[in-house]
Amino acid sequence: MRYRPTRHPTDYPTRVRSDLRTAEARIINVSSSGCRLSGITGLHKGQQLTLQIMCSTVTGTVRWISETRVGISFTVPLNTRQIEVARYVKGSSHGTYRTTVGFRELT
């Protein structure tokens, strides 16, 4: 049996680029293999996208769409640092992190 990578809840702002436009969205959960975006419309299944995670550019494909939420499968899995940045983990060079109860704190 093959297990899916762990999904981590977050609320990370990102810029999404497609062949047609650039838009702002939020990553609401992330794993090494993909993420769920919120606050973006006008995409279609199978569309290639580029997301900005801090200074990294990540490419992926739209796998599913539900109103203003979109599932993305990354072309190349994210490394540990990229996941930590998207999760606001302390020490990830992002400046904020989430505690175990979900509050953001400044470092």
pLDDT at 100: 43
pLDDT digits (tens, 9 = 90+) for 3-53: 778 888 999 999 999 988 999 999 999 999 999 999 999 899 999 999 998
pLDDT digits (tens, 9 = 90+) for 65-93: 998 899 999 999 998 888 888 887 654 45
Of the candidates 51, 56, 11, which has an alpha carbon nearest to the alpha carbon of residue 34?
A: 51
**Terminal-residue alpha carbon distance, the chain:** 40
Provide the percentage of residues in the chain whose pLDDT is more than 90: 56
Give the separation between CA 10 and CA 31, rounded to whole angstroms: 11
pLDDT at 54: 82
Partners of 98 in the β-ladder: 104
